[in-house]
Structure 1
């Protein structure tokens, strides 16, 4: 079942983006009158009928809405992007699939990457969202320095992935049902 992503869906209609429209018309060759499945990344799935085809956009008349509640604890992962960007992209894909709520790329002392192409990363997240049928799109924050991230006030339980020191299992430290932030440093730390 093909799902189209559209952020701006009203109770009556959805307007697909240029990229989603091209995929709908040119790749999957949908025609006016075809039934489409859509998601908004905010917890809702929709069914609708394709009513207008244009080079830049498709309009879908909404016929059915299913909304999911997000009752799970929030999981925020702060991670230093790797030198090999494909590994970070893989992480984004998997984090989206398992339902991570928020992702913050961080710059650490030994980080080798201080710039990211957020537009490309958003496309990867949306693709993983559609493939996994996860109703909630994670928030992808801007790249931030570690000190700035630590200064942010958060009431979440905080955990740091650290190789040295006392070996503690996360399962023994986590309080069930609470929001959490997990910090994962760069390669070599």
Structure 2
């Protein structure tokens, strides 16, 4: 059963990096977003989007890090969509720099950026309907590392307890990685 009427959802998994990519789209307008696209899956993502008849309007990264080799730039060139990352990331090639509360529309759906720093300064989670896409801020039974590249354990704790844990109980949490055979939690 769908978590929300009129929203399409695909969770894709890149085995080599244990990274999840998410594709969401409005079932009526066919406008969509892709979250954390992996560079090595670029061709497969293009094929899937074409098969589904989705017109991508945004490609988003939850954070910029060594294990997130993104295809945002490639998708922007190929699909003429807009790219977005958290503002503190300093990525000059992104079209949109997201700060806390920034909203993006695709079809009748609104995606809200939640600043969730700690794993990196620019970590951003994305809330859509009853789903939140947490990147490496919150994994299932764990969280992203804080011992390198802008990590801050106190900031990560605040992000999890003050942003993610305050969402409604029925919110489905979709992480950026899976190392234990888990793909969603509440």
TM-score normalized with structure 1 length: 0.32
Structure (1 or 2) with the larger CA radius of gyration: 1
Quick check: which one's helix share is greater? Answer: 1
Which has the bigger relative contact order, CA under 8 A and spacing at least 6? 1
TM-score normalized with structure 2 length: 0.32
